Amino acid sequence: MRGVMMYGPRDVRVEDRPDPIIQQPTDAIIRLSATCVCGSDLWPYRGQDKLDGPTPMGHEYAGVVEEIGSAVTTVKPGDFVIGSFFASDNTCEICRAGYQSRCVHAELMGAIGTQSELARVPLADGTLVATPGLPDADLIPSFLAASDVLGTGWFAAVAAAAGPGKTVAVVGDGAVGLLGVLAARQLGAERIIAMSRHEPRQQLALEYGATDIVTERGDAGVARVKELTGGYGAHSVIEAVGTQESMMQAIRATRAGGHVGYVGVAHDVSLPGDELFFSGVHLHGGPAPVRHYLPTLIDLITRREIDPGKVFDLDLPLSDAAKAYEAMDQRQAIKALLRP
């Protein structure tokens, strides 16, 4: 099969990789209908995360089951399926509590690499969720979004306690932040402040339900959120970047007693204990338990109540993966979809 390998900073290649095979009776093999580049893939692309040699890339996937192991019972060949970026058994105590991304048997799909034509999915019964029949082609991008960025944005909104009567601020205007806006609207938030300097992203945030746009960052951004909220700060803040500045901006923009849902992959973030102590802010987040939300998200997409696929503003064949990485790195695209 053809698959994406990263050899080092800004060195992305599409090359022949071995076809996956069933290794455990709980495995499934899927043929990818679509995959994509994630914002987190840009950390190694920019050299901020070090690679240990050539590395298969990709952890988002939607496609058709080709083969299943002898122990798989919930999906069958021919099913169109979506799974999380973490494979999980969905039966351990952590999974049953709704935190499948921290399953005691979790396997990271990024280590397998799903920017490819085929992929092996471990723990298929606990990881994959089938759609009701084969989806219309125009829904495939939205189902792909559910594999990570939609599920992550949704978890961020839940972790931030977004809901009726709440003002939600969103730090980060990438795909996760934009879908955090969508999630906050679906959860009933009264007011949604999107923090963005980029006009195309601002427009999509407004389409997804943002009521206000704040272009300032850092302390200036915090001041603007407080100005919009009568000096209190937002009830709920989604942090979707993962830097020191974004995390402190999120905490400082939250009112006392409010909630921060943080899902940006943290890089060199250090929280000052005294400020955190006196902030009175709830912090919750981490790797999103996408599997927990997949049935709900698949239903909303199937009924066309939400259109998360709009975050894909660049659509390329898998062979052009290097162009996809470059476009996202240069902020010429919000999120690039790759078609094997």
**206: burial class by Cβ within 10 Å (0-12, 13-18, 19+)?**
middle
Contact between 132 and 302 (Cβ < 8 Å): yes
Closest CA to 65 of 110, 105, 92, 27: 27
CB within 8 Å of 199: residues ≥ 6 apart? none
DSSP 97: T
Judging by DSSP bridges, how do beta strands 254-262 and 234-239 pair with one another?
Answer: parallel
pLDDT of residue 11: 98
Going residue by residue through the chain (340 aa), what tens digit of pLDDT does each one get?
A: 999 999 999 999 999 999 999 999 999 999 999 999 999 999 999 999 999 999 999 999 999 999 999 999 999 999 999 999 999 999 999 999 999 999 999 999 999 999 999 999 999 999 999 999 999 999 999 999 999 999 999 999 999 999 999 999 999 999 999 999 999 999 999 999 999 999 999 999 999 999 999 999 999 999 999 999 999 999 999 999 999 999 999 999 999 999 999 999 999 999 999 999 999 999 999 999 999 999 999 999 999 999 999 999 999 999 999 999 999 999 999 999 999 9
Task: Map residue 163 onto helix, strand or coil.
Answer: coil
pLDDT of residue 22: 98
pLDDT of residue 334: 96
118 Rama class: left (phi>0) / alpha (psi -120 to 50) / beta: beta
pLDDT of residue 331: 93
pLDDT of residue 93: 98
CA distance 257 to 81: 40
pLDDT of residue 79: 98
pTM greater than 0.85 (yes/no): yes
**53: burial class by Cβ within 10 Å (0-12, 13-18, 19+)?**
exposed
CA distance 31 to 212: 41
Q: Which domains does the chain possess?
A: 2-148+289-338 (3.90.180.10), 152-285 (3.40.50.720)
DSSP count for the chain of H helices, then E strands? 12, 18
**Phi, psi angles (nearest 5°) of residue 195:** -100, 105
